[in-house]
Structure 1
Amino acid sequence: MKAITVHAFDDDSFEGRLQVGLGLARAFGGHVTFVNAIPIEASVPGDFYGAAFAAMVPVWREAADRLRAKTEADMSNEDVPWNWVEFAGASVTGLLRHSAISDLLVVGAHEPQIDARVPSTTVGDLALHARCPVLVVPDGQDIIDVGAPLLVGWDGSAEASRALRTAMPLIQRASRVFLASVQENRAAGDDYDLPPLAGAEYLSRHGIECEIVELPQAGRKVADILRDAAQQRGCSMIVMGAYGHWRLAERVFGGATRDMLRDVRVPLFMTH
């Protein structure tokens, strides 16, 4: 996990993302890339979008310059190699493009200036389409303990399997690993490919012992069950596959992924 990309945006959670990215880079001897999206370059000729939009361009440019200057000042005291990338367009577009050459994207749990109770569409799109895993950092979090216990949400799906594989650098550092399976009531023919033991067998081949935890659903949401299980076991992170059920329905109507993103309490490692 050497190439770590951090979403750079001047919101209240940026400092936390920066510190989490630095912590991971130090733990793995990695490099941090800050990706900052600007709605449109200041040098675009003409007024294609109206006077109001044109008037905002220098404001966005100035804000981006301030954030970069502040980050440069902060990073001058750090011992981690880094670089800054600016992108003209939406944040999700720039982050998706850079994910092709990243080992991990570090993003915030919420859209800036949007109600915190609303799941981030940016994070949802990244979890679904990024070419590397996504680490969602809760508000107020500025440190990550890679040696703490870790919980893996396991349902035997291809998405959960990929999350397990891509999280191996973190799993190998964890003091304890819990492979948590929620006993959902599934319809006939909706079984996944792999049983709970398959995840444990995969870990054992990498020399990792895990504790299999079977959690009854009892009418509760999967997200609530996983959050409580992680908290009770002192886990510093939850690893899970994103959008593992019928994806269109989950994107539109909800599901475990959306429920997890609605209330992120510990760092959430996700991949599709």
Structure 2
Amino acid sequence: MTYKTILAVFSIHHKEQSLRSAAEICASVGAHLSLLIVKLASPPPIGEYAAAVSVDWLDERQRDIVRLETSVEKAKAILDQTGVSFDVATMYTESAWADDEIGERARYCDLTLVGDGLVADPELRSRTLDGALFRSARPVLIVPRGKTATLTPKKVVLAWDSGFEAARAAREAMGILAGADNVQVTMVDPRASYGRNGEEPGADIAAYLARHGVSVAVERLPSEGRSIDEVLNRFAQDASAELMVMGAYGHSRMRERVFGGVTRSMLETASVPVLMVH
């Protein structure tokens, strides 16, 4: 996959270093940075008969728009110094519609970047992830706080479970995998089974990647009572991986929200940048 346009979603409380980091990621692969600064509108007050609209609420919305415009000017001034090709757009929207609107914008980019620019706004981060993963058909790069991401990593971990989402993630990241010096296909407690992992778990995906010129090795890891996300995070750290590639939401979102799941945990606890694909 060649990345020509990267969408980076930020809140109005973005920091200069976060913007520069997004620009550096784009510059490293010669991509255009499409910056989207989003402000979620405050919900209207509900009175006794839900008929009265608060003057304070209207004033607050107007102040939000001014803050949004100010944030755009600051972002442009910073990005002008980086030399990267960029455009800046804004979105002032209701929380309930944000994931649809962000997802629609993401369809016209090759990748959505979710990093430090959303740390100060957990609700917007959640809406951005939902929109980008479920409504764009594009990969999402999640960068944990304090971490530096690259689209030209030398060491990559591919989290593999033989599922549809993992297969799609591997295909979407093929350019990254082929350019790496070392790709470790990582399986946690794999079982040899007909129609899924095969007689030798990991052999099929390793052969597929090798035919694309990927330098690949297979690691079968025992969980030993630990959660899958904990095993993957520990392995990525020990392997000094610069990126993890994985499928997202092999189960329904509702099931993961109620019972937990690897995707949900990795979104919250990833130890290295993660490229996710649903």
Quote the residue 1:64 is aligned against.
68
Q: Does 1:23 align with 2:27?
A: no
Task: Select 1:98's aligned residue among 95, 101, 105.
Answer: 105
State the identity as a percent.
27
Matching residue of 1:9: 11
Residue type at the aligned position of 1:264: A
- Give per-residue Cα distances to partners, 1:164-198, cap 9 Å, x unaligned: 11112222232211110111689x99x74775222
1:254 aligns with 260
Contact 1:153/1:179 (8 A) holds in 2: yes
Which residue of structure 2 lines up, in the alignment, with residue 155 of structure 1? 161
Kindly report structure 1 stretches of 4+ aligned residues shifted beyond 6 Å: none
Using structure 1 for the length normalisation, give the TM-score: 0.84
Q: CA offsets per residue over residues 65-106 of structure 1, 9 Å max, x none?
A: 121111111111112110012223144333211111111000
Question: What's the RMSD between the two structures over aligned residues?
Answer: 2.8
Matches within 5 A, 1:69-148: 69-89=73-93, 90=95, 91-108=98-115, 112-114=120-122, 120=126, 122-144=128-150, 146-148=152-154
Output the amino acid matched with 1:32: L
* Cα drift, residue 199 of structure 1: 1.7
TM superposition shift of 1:141:
2.9
User: Residues 37 and 49 of structure 1: is their aligned pair in 2 closer, same or farther, counting only changes over 3 Å?
Assistant: farther
Gaps of 5+ in 1: 41-46
> TM-score if structure 2 supplies the norm length?
0.82
Secondary structure, aligned partner of 1:52: helix
Decide which moves more: 237-246 or 224-233.
237-246
The aligned amino acid for 2:101 is: G
Output the CA distance in 1 between the equivalents of 2:16 and 2:184.
30
**What secondary structure does 2:66 align onto?**
helix
Amino acid at match of 1:254: G
Instruction: Return the alpha-carbon distance in structure 1 between the equivalents of residues 99 and 229 of structure 2.
Output: 24
Residue 181 of structure 2 aligns to a residue whose secondary structure is: coil
Instruction: Please report how far the alpha carbon of residue 2 of structure 1 lies from its aligned counterpart in structure 2 after TM superposition.
Output: 0.9
197 and 139 in structure 1: CA distance in 2 versus 1, 3 angstrom threshold:
same
Distance 1:76 1:111 in 2: 24
Q: 1:69 to 1:246 in 2, by over 3 A?
A: closer
Q: How does 1:39-54 map to 2 (within 5 A)?
A: 39=40, 50-54=54-58
How many aligned residue pairs are there? 260
CA change 1:157–1:15 in 2 (3 A) is: farther
Structure 2: tracts of 5 or more residues without a match: 42-50
**Does the C-alpha gap of structure 1 residues 206 and 15 become closer, same or farther in structure 2, counting only changes over 3 Å?**
farther
2:179 match: secondary structure: coil
Partner Cα distance (2:16, 2:225) in 1: 38
